[in-house]
């Protein structure tokens, strides 16, 4: 069965600093992987997706993620954090007929 693990329930960065949110996956088949962002009291917004076309995936708002099969990882990065990036981030893997979500990482951005 497919699963994802997000390391760190909270990540704190300063505005302008590099953002790195970690996600490791487990899958018996080539995975489809996703990153979603959720702002308070809102739904989930798709940031980016990996569907085996390219290992470096670019998403919205300057986020990107790199698929590393050898490390079973799909970490999310952004070169320079903005205050508006403060939110909950979920990594997900495509399971049988459904998405399997990680437990989420809350990104805190300080001025």
Binding site for another protein (CB under 8 A): 32, 34, 36, 41-46, 49, 90, 94, 97-99, 101-104
| Of the candidates 98, 50, 51, 58, the residue with the CA atom closest to the CA atom of residue 74 | 50
| Residue placing its CB nearer to another protein in the complex, 7 or 44 | 44
Supply the minimum distance, in Å, between the C-beta of residue 80 and another protein: 26
| Residue placing its CB nearer to another protein in the complex, 43 or 111 | 43
Measure the CA–CA gap between 67 and 60, rounded to whole angstroms.
Answer: 17
| Residue placing its CB nearer to another protein in the complex, 26 or 80 | 26
Supply the minimum distance, in Å, between the C-beta of residue 44 and another protein: 4
CA-to-CA separations, 108 to 10, 20, 42, 47, in angstroms, rounded: 7, 12, 17, 17
């Amino acid at each position: 069965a497919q699963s994802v693990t997000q390391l760190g329930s909270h990540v704190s960065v300063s505005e302008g600093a590099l953002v790195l949110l970690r996600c490791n996956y487990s899958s018996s088949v080539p995975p489809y992987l996703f990153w979603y962002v959720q702002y308070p009291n809102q739904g989930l917004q798709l940031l980016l997706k990996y569907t085996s076309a390219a290992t470096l995936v670019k998403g919205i708002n300057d986020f990107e993620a790199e698929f590393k099969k050898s490390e079973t990882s799909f970490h999310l990065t952004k070169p320079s954090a903005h205050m508006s990036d403060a939110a909950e981030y979920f990594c997900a893997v495509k399971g049988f007929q459904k998405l399997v979500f990680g437990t989420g990482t809350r990104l805190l951005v300080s001025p």
